[in-house]
Amino acid sequence: VENNNDKELVKLLNEFHYADIAEILDELDLDDSIYVIKLLDSETTSDILTELDEDTREKVLKNLSAKEIAEEVEELDTDDAADIIAELPEERQEEVISKIEDEEHREEITELLKYQDDTAGGLMAKELVKVYETWTVAGCLRRIRGQAKEVTRVHSIYVVNKEEKLIGRLSLKDLIVAKNDQKIADIAKDNVDFVNVIDDVEDVAKVMAKYDLEAIPVVDDSQTLLGRITIDDIVDVLKEEAEKDYQLAAGITQDVDSDDSIIELTRARLPWLFLGLIGGVGAFVIMEGFQEAFNQYAVLFFFTPLIAAMAGNVGVQSSAIIVQGLANDDIKGSINRRLLKEMSLATLNGIILAAFLFLFVWIYIGEIDKAIAISTSLVAVIIIAGLIGTFVPLFLDKRGIDPAIATGPFITTSNDILGILLYFWIAKLILGI
């Protein structure tokens, strides 16, 4: 398909959705991608650009002139345009912005670039349909016909007073159902949800998911309407959040995916493995320290992987439930009540598991004192592991640190060491060494 016959190719590609073309380009090599992008008109390619992988987009943009990027950006909604420009190196940003011909578009994009990535301001677009409370329905419909051409989808119509402050909302449906001579102020709904421009995107996502909103207006501290956020952007935020938490739980930092280079993947994975290595060395030092004491009881050493695995698993289970509860705002009440509950739960699970282990050791080794020592330690280790798994994320959250880092290797490693230490202490006590 690639080499000749441009016309055929354009015809073929025009039948695809831009998201599909972006997927194809992600797979092609760079020269071919740029060739295709230069071939298609900027209306299609601008949408393709927004859907490309970040890495591919960076490479493609490097090969386009500032003028060409400005043309692409001109076709996009302000939020997507600002996102693309924000990815460019700083000198290029200014160059591209200066080449945008539409003055209003240029000013809006410049405004959006000022907001932090992870705030409502960084997510919002300037495109929205705004009406003044003093207009009539008929006048409003006339003007909306004008405004709406720029807005791809009309979610809500926002009603403002003459100081541009948000005072209500309307749906297109309300307008169509209303009589022509009614005043906007009379049919507008005044219970309008909104977020502040500096709100965290995760909070915006929570509000929109909770109230099933498809778009939400963004205001500043004086309630002036600045822009709007739509649910499709929130879907992306939710997916990214979920992926980030999932990766942290698996011991992967940075937002990597399976197609990234080996160097990038190493940078994301090695630090956590190194943590595990330190933990393993710690376990070695502990075991060596108990070597003399347990000279007669070498068999006890063979249970350390079991103890470490149980401590790690219980810790990850309890921390995962807390992290998820925190993300859903489900965690209310005192930390002490949570700890008490986890303690009962861990005790119950611990006793059931220890009963099996007791039977195994008793039957297999045939020494009841060892069986008692090992299974009692297991109960204690499970309880402590559960409490640590519960406490650490709650503590981090109170301190304003993302509790998700407490899951995965962090909790496993600390629980491994503590579990093994506890195991030998208790066994020593019970066996009277």
Q: Which of residues 241-300 bind a copy of itself (CB under 8 A)?
A: 242-243, 245-247, 249-252, 256-259, 262, 265-266, 269-270, 272-274, 276-277, 279-281, 283-284, 287-288, 291, 298-299
Give how many residues touch a copy of itself by CB under 8 A: 106
CB of residue 34 to a copy of itself, shortest distance in Å: 21
Structural element, H or E, at residue 130: strand 129-132
CB of residue 251 to a copy of itself, shortest distance in Å: 5
CB of residue 165 to a copy of itself, shortest distance in Å: 21
Q: Is 4 exposed, middle or buried (0-12, 13-18, 19+ CB in 10 A)?
A: exposed
**27 or 220: CB nearest a copy of itself:** 27
CB of residue 337 to a copy of itself, shortest distance in Å: 11
- Asked whether position 393 contacts a copy of itself by CB under 8 A, the answer is no
Query: According to CB under 8 A, which one of 138, 196, 313, 372 is a site residue for a copy of itself?
Result: 313
- Asked whether position 63 contacts a copy of itself by CB under 8 A, the answer is no
Angle CA 67–71–76, to nearest 5? 145
- 57/162 Cα distance (integer angstroms): 42
Q: Encode burial over 55-79: b for 16+ CB neighbours within 10 A, e otherwise.
A: ebbeebbeebebebbbbbbbbbbbb
From residue 376, give the alpha-carbon distance in Å to each of 128, 185, 371.
Answer: 65, 72, 8
Q: Which of 317, 297, 269 minimizes the C-alpha distance to 371?
A: 297
- Asked whether position 408 contacts a copy of itself by CB under 8 A, the answer is yes
- Asked whether position 324 contacts a copy of itself by CB under 8 A, the answer is yes
Q: Are strands 195-196 and 215-219 parallel, antiparallel or unpaired?
A: parallel
**93 or 318: CB nearest a copy of itself:** 318
Q: Give yes or no for a contact between 222 and 170, defined as CB atoms under 8 angstroms apart.
A: no
Stretch near a copy of itself under the rule CB under 8 A, chosen from 3-11, 35-43, 113-121, 355-363: 355-363
**42 or 412: CB nearest a copy of itself:** 412
- Asked whether position 27 contacts a copy of itself by CB under 8 A, the answer is yes
**99 or 256: CB nearest a copy of itself:** 256
Residues 141-180 that bind a copy of itself (CB under 8 A): 141, 144-145, 148-149, 151, 153-154, 171-173, 176-177
Q: Which of 306, 326, 304 minimizes the C-alpha distance to 406?
A: 326
Cβ contacts of 59 within 8 Å, gap of 6 or more: 30, 33
- Asked whether position 320 contacts a copy of itself by CB under 8 A, the answer is yes
**25 or 97: CB nearest a copy of itself:** 25
**95 or 343: CB nearest a copy of itself:** 343
Residues 30-49 that bind a copy of itself (CB under 8 A): none
Q: Are strands 166-170 and 195-196 parallel, antiparallel or unpaired?
A: unpaired
**100 or 290: CB nearest a copy of itself:** 290
- 290/215 Cα distance (integer angstroms): 62
- Asked whether position 212 contacts a copy of itself by CB under 8 A, the answer is yes
- 280/388 Cα distance (integer angstroms): 19
- 298/248 Cα distance (integer angstroms): 37
Stretch near a copy of itself under the rule CB under 8 A, chosen from 3-11, 29-37, 61-69, 138-146: 138-146
CB of residue 91 to a copy of itself, shortest distance in Å: 32
Residues 176-205 that bind a copy of itself (CB under 8 A): 176-177
**303 or 391: CB nearest a copy of itself:** 303
Q: Which of 106, 88, 87 minimizes the C-alpha distance to 97?
A: 106
- Asked whether position 81 contacts a copy of itself by CB under 8 A, the answer is no
- Asked whether position 328 contacts a copy of itself by CB under 8 A, the answer is yes
Q: Is 137 exposed, middle or buried (0-12, 13-18, 19+ CB in 10 A)?
A: buried
